[in-house]
Amino acid sequence: MVPKLRRPLKIGILGGGQLSLMLAEAAMKMGIETRILAEGPDAPVAQVFAHCTLGSVKDPASLRTFFSQVDLLIFENEFVNCEVLKGAARGLSVEFIPSLDTISQVQDKLTQKEWLGRLGVPSADYYELNPEYSLEAEVRACLEKFNGQCVLKWAKLGYDGKGVMPLASGKLDWVRIHSFVNSAKERRSRVFAERKISFKRELALVAVYSRNEEFHTYPLVISEQKEGICSLVYGPAVALGVDQRLEQQACHYAKSLAKALSLYGSFAIEFFETDENEILVNEIAPRIHNSGHYTQDACATDQFENHLRAVLGVPIGSVQHSPGFAMLNVLGPKAPLGEEGLTALPKPSSNTYLHWYRKKQILPGRKLGHLNGIADATRELPQLIEELKVIEQDWIKQSFDINVSKKGENECLRPSL
């Protein structure tokens, strides 16, 4: 099935954040005509890429104008209103990849769980809160079901620790719980409770499924979070003590999902590796994902180029990887640096690489960029991870020094990037 398309083919990307920026970087080198709908001139991609239209992904009029200019539409993330998009695209020839049906199946974690169940893919037990019953009663019911410990989650629009709230019997903050559930309601999201999983490690897998039905996986990796935000990713997991069987299972699950949902492009699955040496799906992201950023420097083809190859039906590029690799997210430090902190960039070393998102404001915990590192062997990984952390710490220290010692001056020492 080869689509008929106007020429030259134009790909539209919805959203102007770092994932869109990195997709644009891949499209740039590949010669693909790209148009991007970005929120404003300060959006990461709008600062450097020429073909950005400024407008909200929530505004039907902006969407419609944008859709009329492109042939294929891909997503930076799944946090979109599918009904609004469908309405805005009515009568136009734009094609969404993955389809809006697929996006709506995956963007809701409860619908995700139903799919997972149907496909025999294990995930944590859950309990959907019935909004018609009293919240207190529902919370107590699920705590009872899950032996006094569970995690409350929004079904939709949660990310980076948002939309997640751990609960434990006897330590319930009802004000926070009510506010959490009300926030979900405002987002038209259901709420559910999930059994608190006792896990050894969190794992992640990025897979690519192309419109030619080609399917490939990058290696299973280990990921670490800080306050719900991805902090560190490294691998390959199987060289670090994770059972090969678990990687095989992860790949099998990814393939089942890709085929069942027509989930075209690069996508990610996050897993818990349980104390019982099994994996449970934690979350699915139907798109390029933070846990695959290491592919930019550690793999023959990165997740961004492969996302574009997959949606265009071009052969998926080799997923070969370096023997060891790590990715550290550079997050906004807790102590505010202000505007000044932006003047210096982290300074990579010989085998490490900086990817920087050009955020205009450094907020605590905000993803500002990431550092990738590659190693010739997995035994070098502890040292590599230490190296990444030192680069980040030096950057924070340097930024503070600049702010403290150079305040009010127009010039500053800027020995590096």
**CA–CA separation, 128 and 138 (whole Å):** 9
* Residue 249 vs 322, nearer CB to its own copies: 322
Task: Residue 333: name the closest of 275, 251, 392, 283 by CA.
Answer: 392
**CA–CA separation, 117 and 105 (whole Å):** 13
Interacting residue with its own copies among 23, 43, 49, 208 (CB under 8 A) = 49
Minimum distance from residue 333 beta carbon to its own copies (Å): 17
- Judged by CB under 8 A, the chain residues 294 through 313 that form the site for its own copies are 296-297, 300-301, 305, 309, 312-313
Interacting residue with its own copies among 228, 317, 323, 365 (CB under 8 A) = 317
Tell me the per-residue interface mask from 19 to 48 with its own copies, x by CB under 8 A, - otherwise: --xx--x--xxxxx-x-----------xxx
**CA–CA separation, 372 and 33 (whole Å):** 28
Interacting residue with its own copies among 130, 349, 383, 393 (CB under 8 A) = 349
Task: Residue 321: name the closest of 218, 195, 410, 206 by CA.
Answer: 218
* Residue 270 vs 305, nearer CB to its own copies: 305
**Strand bridging mode 199-209 / 265-274:** antiparallel
Minimum distance from residue 320 beta carbon to its own copies (Å): 8
Bridge partners, 94 (sequence order) = none
* Piece of 106-114, 232-240, 242-250, 349-357 that binds its own copies (CB under 8 A): 349-357
Tell me the per-residue interface mask from 321 to 340 with its own copies, x by CB under 8 A, - otherwise: -x------------------
Minimum distance from residue 234 beta carbon to its own copies (Å): 17
Question: Total binding residues for its own copies by CB under 8 A?
Answer: 62
Minimum distance from residue 308 beta carbon to its own copies (Å): 8
Q: Does 343 bind its own copies (CB under 8 A)?
A: yes
* Residue 61 vs 413, nearer CB to its own copies: 413
Minimum distance from residue 42 beta carbon to its own copies (Å): 13
Task: Residue 226: name the closest of 102, 334, 336, 343 by CA.
Answer: 334
Bridge partners, 265 (sequence order) = 209
Alpha helices (H) in 262-406, listed in sequence order: 295-298, 303-312, 381-405
- Judged by CB under 8 A, the chain residues 202 through 241 that form the site for its own copies are none
**CA–CA separation, 163 and 110 (whole Å):** 13
Minimum distance from residue 158 beta carbon to its own copies (Å): 28
Q: Does 417 bind its own copies (CB under 8 A)?
A: yes
How many angstroms from the chain centroid is the CA of residue 78? 10
- Judged by CB under 8 A, the chain residues 371 through 410 that form the site for its own copies are 374, 410
- Judged by CB under 8 A, the chain residues 60 through 119 that form the site for its own copies are none
Minimum distance from residue 21 beta carbon to its own copies (Å): 8
HSE of 212 in the Cβ direction (CA atoms, 13 Å)? 12
* Piece of 180-188, 198-206, 265-273, 317-325 that binds its own copies (CB under 8 A): 317-325
**CA–CA separation, 415 and 392 (whole Å):** 16
Minimum distance from residue 300 beta carbon to its own copies (Å): 6
Instruction: Return the DSSP state at 245.
Output: H
Cis peptide preceding 8, ω within 30 of 0: yes
Ranges assigned E (strand) in 197-299: 199-209, 215-217, 221-226, 229-235, 265-274, 279-285
**CA–CA separation, 93 and 71 (whole Å):** 7
* Residue 44 vs 158, nearer CB to its own copies: 44
Interacting residue with its own copies among 199, 272, 294, 357 (CB under 8 A) = 357
3-state secondary structure of 371: strand
* Residue 7 vs 334, nearer CB to its own copies: 7
Tell me the per-residue interface mask from 257 to 296 with its own copies, x by CB under 8 A, - otherwise: ---------------------------------------x
**CA–CA separation, 55 and 14 (whole Å):** 10
3-state secondary structure of 182: helix
Interacting residue with its own copies among 8, 91, 170, 408 (CB under 8 A) = 8
Amino acid at 417: L
3-state secondary structure of 50: coil
List of residues contacting its own copies (CB under 8 A): 2-9, 21-22, 25, 28-32, 34, 46-52, 296-297, 300-301, 305, 309, 312-318, 322, 342-343, 345, 347-351, 353-358, 369, 374, 410-417
